[in-house]
Chains A and B, each alone.
Chain A
Amino acid sequence: MQPSLSFFSGFTPNDLWFLAEAALRTLWISALSISIGTVLGAIFGWILYEGKLTATLTLAPVLDVFRSVPLIIQLVLFYNFAPIVGLDLDPFASGVVILTIYTAALVANVARGGIEAVGLPMRRAARSLGMTYWQDLRHVVLPIGGRAVFPAWVGVALGVMKDSALVSVLGYVELLKASQILITRTQEPFLILTLAGAFYFALSYPVSRFAASLERKWAQ
């Protein structure tokens, strides 16, 4: 009997390395999107807080759309329609753009909450000392409001990190996509998804531990 040609082969140490590399890509696309998205979101939050009616009518509905439409739909739509308007972006760039906007939309509300948490009396006290509007924002609102909403922001950041798995639908080989490739080859979904889950955990856990220790320090 002729040996049959097999497309399947077992899991090797090399594959673990392949997953680790993919985890780094997950980390990279997340870190990039979360950083830029947070800065943008903080600015949007400030506009929502200060802009009152105008912002409620313009920026707020746009952010609502990005917050409400499932990320996977945003990714596919953007990736496929961007070339029509002349934007030829690879899966990575498309993923960064959408994840960044998505993060910004979520952070905007967190940031607005942070500014509201500081309260008018505290800000008047700062201004009464002769601080300018921007000094008050930088030295009083940012540290006090930032600490108030830090746990909420960590939640957003970890959520976006996990949601970055959806960029796999565009073909970017991050952790989930890499797992799918290995599953197809090895036919060992249980082992590989467990490993991928462990990698996600290894990325998130240090962040939440660090956040918790910061919160403890601030609580003193």
Chain B
Amino acid sequence: MIEIRDLHKYFGALHVLKGINLNVQKGEVLSVIGASGSGKSTLLYCINGLEPVQQGRVVVDGIDVHAKGTDINRLRQRLGMVFQQWNSFPHLTALENVALAPRIVKGKTRAEAREIARRQLEHVGLGEKLDAYPSALSGGQQQRLAIARALAMEPEYMLFDEATSALDPELVGEVLETMRMLAEEGMTMICVTHEMGFARDVSDRVAFFHQGVMEEIGPPEQIFTAPQSEHTRKFLANVR
């Protein structure tokens, strides 16, 4: 379980997260929606410790992410993350991209790591592209490669930071399809997204962020058909 308690985050004088409280249960799919600059992405960065926090706690399976004694590199193996920019390692083939972390972080042998990588790439539909360099892959394929790379560490949770925002419209579908598949397999996911259709169909709950505050959280039907907050209503009216 991921527990977030009274989380505050500042960038200098800018107060980007203003006391977030949130629990995400095992097996749950949570979509986080809201305007740009509302703090959604920052929340994900705080969850896996890529950004320090100034107040409050993030606890993952009983381990405080930001506590001094925490082995953050070990903890991050539980938290797969997929970014808006896919960040494939350009000097490695698809297979090597996925095999690198299992080998150097988890200490798998070269052969084991390649086997894991091959399995994960087939899983996301890139079984034909094992030896392709990222430069030969489309944006959608590179993003699926990034998903396979995160899955190869066998994470308990997957964090998606606007995984489709940088893609050409015709490539969004294949990535959403992959995310949908993971959700159906029971992966615990937090998806920061602008894809309202995905949030509505796939999520167990949807959270709406507005100016660093979690204004509203609930089942998708409630958020999309009967939002409680005025800000949520306005946001949804604008994105439709």
A binding-site residues for B, Cβ under 8 Å: 121-122, 124-132, 135, 139-140, 143-144, 147, 218, 220
Nearest chain A residue, comparing its CB with the CB of B87: A125
> Once the chains are docked, how many angstroms separate the CA of A130 from the CA of B83?
15
> Once the chains are docked, how many angstroms separate the CA of A147 from the CA of B92?
12
A220 touches B133 (CB 8 A): yes
B binding-site residues for A, Cβ under 8 Å: 45, 48, 50, 73-74, 76-77, 79-81, 83, 85, 87, 89-91, 100-101, 104-106, 133, 135, 146, 149-150, 153
> Once the chains are docked, how many angstroms separate the CA of A125 from the CA of B89?
9
Contact A132 to B83, CB < 8 A, known contacts A127-B50, A139-B104: no
> Once the chains are docked, how many angstroms separate the CA of A130 from the CA of B79?
9
Some 16 contacts from A to B, beta carbons below 8 A apart, are A121-B85, A121-B87, A122-B87, A125-B146, A127-B50, A129-B149, A129-B150, A129-B153, A130-B74, A130-B76, A130-B101, A130-B153, A131-B105, A135-B105, A143-B89, A144-B89
Give the dominant DSSP class at A's interface. helix
> Once the chains are docked, how many angstroms separate the CA of A220 from the CA of B150?
25
- Which of B77, B91, B146 is the one whose CB lies under 8 Å from A130? B77
Most B C-beta atoms less than 10 A away, residue of A126, A127, A129: A129
Nearest chain B residue, comparing its CB with the CB of A148: B90
Most B C-beta atoms less than 10 A away, residue of A130, A143, A220: A130
- Which of B74, B104, B150 is the one whose CB lies under 8 Å from A128? B150
Most A C-beta atoms less than 10 A away, residue of B80, B91, B153: B91
Pairs of residues from A and B, 5 with the lowest C-beta to C-beta distance, nearest first = A125-B87, A129-B101, A128-B81, A130-B77, A130-B105
Find chain A residues with CB under 8 A from B90 CB. Answer: 144
B79 touches A128 (CB 8 A): yes
Nearest chain A residue, comparing its CB with the CB of B135: A220
Contact A124 to B83, CB < 8 A, known contacts A129-B153, A130-B73, A131-B73: yes
Contact A147 to B91, CB < 8 A, known contacts A127-B50, A135-B104: yes
Nearest chain A residue, comparing its CB with the CB of B78: A130
A131 touches B91 (CB 8 A): no
Smallest Cβ distance from A197 to chain B, in angstroms?
A: 37
> Once the chains are docked, how many angstroms separate the CA of A216 from the CA of B73?
36
Find chain A residues with CB under 8 A from B101 CB. Answer: 129-131
> Once the chains are docked, how many angstroms separate the CA of A143 from the CA of B101?
15
Smallest Cβ distance from B190 to chain A, in angstroms?
A: 13
Find chain B residues with CB under 8 A from A139 CB. Answer: 100, 104
B76 touches A127 (CB 8 A): yes
> Once the chains are docked, how many angstroms separate the CA of A144 from the CA of B146?
17
Contact A131 to B104, CB < 8 A, known contacts A144-B89, A144-B91: yes
> Once the chains are docked, how many angstroms separate the CA of A29 from the CA of B101?
40
Smallest Cβ distance from A150 to chain B, in angstroms?
A: 12
Find chain A residues with CB under 8 A from B79 CB. Answer: 128
